[in-house]
């Protein structure tokens, strides 16, 4: 899983957050995957946001291009990609 750094700027210091990237087209099964940091299972079926929180949606026109989520257990951020390809399967 590729990882990138995102900067978070506070009043007195700059912190770097590690953002893991995950291509949903490479996941087998029902779409569940483990958090790359703590291993908790993240499921697209979970709409409660008990396990993860949606941080940012990245759109290109009306198409969802990427979604950044945060694991509620360890605070890791994960950028999910592969949505346009998935949407084409249902057209």
> How many domains does the chain contain in total?
1
Lowest mean pLDDT among 7-16, 37-46, 67-76, 82-91: 7-16
What does the alpha-carbon distance between residue 86 and residue 4 come to, in Å, rounded to a whole number? 24
| Predicted pLDDT of residue 47 | 86
For strand 14-23 and strand 33-34, is the pairing parallel, antiparallel, or unpaired? unpaired
- Where is pLDDT greater, at 89 or 54? 54
CA–CA distance, 30 with 33 (Å, rounded to integer):
9
Alpha helices in the chain (DSSP H): 83-89
Which residue range is the domain that position 56 belongs to?
3-89
Q: Name the β-bridge partners of 39.
A: none
The pLDDT of residue 45 is 85
- CA torsion, ordered 2, 55, 5, 74, to nearest 10 deg: -80
Report yes or no: 79 and 68 within 8 Å, Cβ to Cβ: yes
Q: Could you read off the pLDDT of 12-69 as tens digits, one per residue?
A: 554 556 789 999 889 888 889 999 999 999 998 888 989 999 999 999 888 899 999 9
pLDDT band (50, 70, 90) for residue 91: very low
């Amino acid at each position: 899983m590729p990882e990138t750094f995102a900067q978070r700027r506070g009043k007195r210091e700059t912190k770097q957050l590690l953002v893991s990237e995950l291509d949903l087209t490479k996941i087998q099964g029902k779409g569940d995957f483990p958090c790359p940091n703590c291993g908790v299972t993240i499921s697209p079926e979970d709409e409660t946001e008990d396990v993860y929180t949606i941080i940012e949606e990245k759109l290109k026109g009306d198409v969802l291009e990427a979604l950044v989520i945060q694991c509620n257990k360890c605070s890791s951020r994960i950028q999910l990609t592969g949505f346009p390809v998935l949407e084409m399967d249902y057209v």
